[in-house]
A and B are shown apart, each in its own frame.
Chain A
Amino acid sequence: MLIKSVKVYNFRQFKGEQSLDFATDAKNNVTIVMGPNGSGKTALAQAFKWCLYGETDLGDKSVFCKAVELEMLQNTKESCHVQIVLEHKGAPYTIRRTMRVRKEYGGRLKEDPPELSVASKTPDGQTKSIPTPELRIREILPKDLSRYFFFDGERIEKMRGEIGKGKSKEFPAAVRSLLGLDAMKVAIDHLNKVIRRYDESCDPHSDARMHGYARRISELNTRIDQISQRLDKLGAEMETADNRCIELRQRILENKASEELAQQKARLEKLRNDLIKQRDGAVAQMLEIFNKDALDFFAAPWMQDAMKTLKKADKLDKGIPDIHARTLDYLLKRGVCLCGCSLEKDSEAWETIEKIRDFIPPKSIGTLLDNFSDECALRAKNASGFFGQMEHHYGIVRDHAKNYGENEEAIKELVEKLRGREDVGHLQADLSRLEQHLSSLRNERELLIREQGSKETELQRLETERRDLALKDKSNRRIETFKAYAQAMRDSLNGTYSKKEAEIRNDLAKTVDSIFRRIYKGGFSLALDENYNIAINVTDVEGWRGDTEVETSTAQGISVCFAFIAGVIELARRNKGDSGLTSEVYPLVMDAPLSAFDKTRIRAVCEELPCVAGQVIIFIKDTDGDLAEEHLGRKVGRRYTFDKKTEFETLLREGR
């Protein structure tokens, strides 16, 4: 992904429209943006974040240009926007976030919620608006990874401070993003919950102390559950309100009716009918196969068991060899046994002879067992194809359910669009009301989270005490079995997760260390232990030529930051599929406090940066301009200067 240009209009210090085109050539891929402190370098860096994700890290959240605000008359409207043109996987994208403002009577500035639009071009040159802009941005560059490609001066300073104390939160956060194993983490959390639940259940007739624990634990769990449920509900309410806000904004934007839309709608309605027919067919097939063959499917595993079992049956008594029921009939009819005894009807001798029938052909058990085995084999064969067929038809049903759902959504969207002009003022009012509601929900959530924390701490204490007691109570054996399974599963997952985490952490440490060594030409190395403590070690005392103590630690800290950023980017590219990145090259947009370094270090850092990223956009102080030219000069494709006119107004100029 490469950034081609950014255009800001009335954004922070940038009055009117100002734009930057970035160097994207493979050899000259560095763009330098130079200016004094306070001229808006950070603001420009934040413009990217605001445009893509609607957020900034700036203390003052208002992004509208103050200079323009001062000039506005009461009851007039204005707007500000940031537009990014980028290229991702060969397709050009234009991403634009616009915010409209109005100066009310009394002088207050009212800001409308910003609107986002993403447009792309099809291969034949047609402009196409993307209906799900937030999703597409997430595909191009997910927010939690974007923080490694956009690194402003304040964050470098914060991280440097943390590194100075020996540990930075940025490292474990990066490892988690790179891992991408959220499902496992959440499974471990749930298993812990399950295990806790089992600890809670106990026989109330046993030891009175257990009963006491159970009661207190149950009360705590009830309250924690209540809080959890309320938090979930809040989360859902907030998400609904949020989505509704997005929807309202979208609707305010799209107010045009069009004939083409009506035609589209007709096409989709026909598709809807076709989909229904296909799905019904698949369902009918599934039920037909089920009613015909399910029996063999359910019986097959047992039939395998049965056939194995019956092999043992060879040792069973199969009766008298070579005697058939016909023999008995003959003997009974003639009334005299083989041995010469008389066989009177219903006498004991007669009954004995009758009983033998069960053991000889055609009713001998041998025959019955053989027949049974044969039937098992036949049915088992029949069963083997059953599930495959069911899966096949079910797949059709699921695919069509999804396609149907999407089609219905598309039809609904078209219906909405075709409804014509709506009362925008009405929609705006709804929007403001929703945003206030969101704010009060957020407050409630804060309070609940705090209460939840303290209750959970107490709960864990009680459960540990109770668990020790529970193991001695025999009546809990069944529960203990379930708990043992949950523990075995949790331990297995923990092991796998920790192993993977350690792998990525070691990878990151090695990568960051090798880049760090290159910056320090081997004089220093960096190590990361399993608790993410950072240690910088001198490897070559002779080779090191530092100036002062102060410069050393500050410069080292910043070098670690650079090495870290470069390391994460490299790992993210290496583990492409896992971390969510889908492109080959990425830009690096950062503030670079070059003058904190000595000359050798600057050269080393400047040599590393363009290798790491496909494109480097670097913001520097004007006093560092010469340094940057000296060390990056050959790779620089574009240069811009910030011209600070007043406190509130800055102009961008190309060139030095």
Chain B
Amino acid sequence: MTKTVNGIEVDVEKANRLLIWLVERESENLRSREKNDTEMAKFIAKRIEEEVQCL
């Protein structure tokens, strides 16, 4: 299933999977305080890019 955001087609299942992964990681990071905000943003961007490119 896809939906359109800003003129781009987004695969909803992929976006949902990413959401779940994100909230899990954020919960864990709040506990461990391993990454700061900048590192988390980089980490999240990398994951989005990888997931989008995967089949």
Contact = CB atoms under 8 A, between A and B. Distances in A.
Interface of A: 182-184, 186-187, 189-191, 193-194, 197-198, 225, 228-229, 232, 471, 477, 480-489, 492-493
Contacts of A485: 5, 10, 14-15, 18, 48, 51-52
A482 B45 contact: yes
A225 B19 contact: no
18 contacts: A182-B30, A190-B26, A190-B40, A190-B44, A193-B38, A194-B41, A194-B48, A197-B45, A198-B45, A228-B38, A232-B36, A477-B8, A480-B6, A480-B7, A482-B49, A482-B52, A485-B10, A485-B48
A228 B36 CA distance: 9
Contact of A193 (B5, B19, B30, B41): B41
B1 interface: no
Contacts of B30: 182-183, 186
B52 A225 contact: no
B6 A482 contact: no
A481 B9 CA distance: 8
Given A197-B41, A489-B18, A484 B10 contact: yes
B3 to A, nearest CB: 7
Nearest to B14: A485
Interface of B: 3, 5-8, 10, 12, 14-15, 18-19, 22-23, 26-27, 29-30, 36-38, 40-41, 44-45, 48-49, 51-52
B45 A187 contact: no
A229 B10 CA distance: 33
A198 B44 CA distance: 12
A345 B3 CA distance: 63
A224 to B, nearest CB: 9
Nearest to B6: A484
Contacts of A187: 22-23, 26
Nearest to A496: B19
A484 B37 contact: no
Contacts of B26: 183-184, 186-187, 190
A484 B10 CA distance: 7
Contact of B19 (A198, A480, A489): A489
A40 to B, nearest CB: 40
Contacts of A482: 45, 48-49, 52
A225 B38 contact: yes
Given A485-B15, A485-B18, 16 more contacts: A183-B23, A190-B26, A190-B40, A190-B44, A193-B38, A229-B36, A229-B38, A471-B6, A480-B6, A480-B8, A482-B48, A482-B49, A482-B52, A487-B5, A489-B19, A492-B15
B10 A488 contact: yes
Contacts of A484: 5-6, 8, 10
B39 to A, nearest CB: 9
Given A184-B23, A186-B30, A488 B3 contact: yes
Contacts of B10: 484-485, 488
A483 B6 contact: yes
Given A484-B8, A484-B10, A193 B37 contact: yes
A194 B44 CA distance: 7
A194 B36 contact: no
Contacts of B48: 194, 482, 485-486
A184 B51 CA distance: 21
B38 to A, nearest CB: 6
A482 B14 CA distance: 12
B6 A487 contact: yes
Nearest to B49: A482
A132 B44 CA distance: 34
Contacts of A229: 36, 38
Nearest 5 interchain pairs by C-beta: A484-B8, A193-B41, A183-B27, A484-B5, A232-B36
A194 B38 CA distance: 9
Contacts of B15: 485, 488-489, 492
Nearest to A480: B8
A481 B19 contact: no
B33 to A, nearest CB: 8
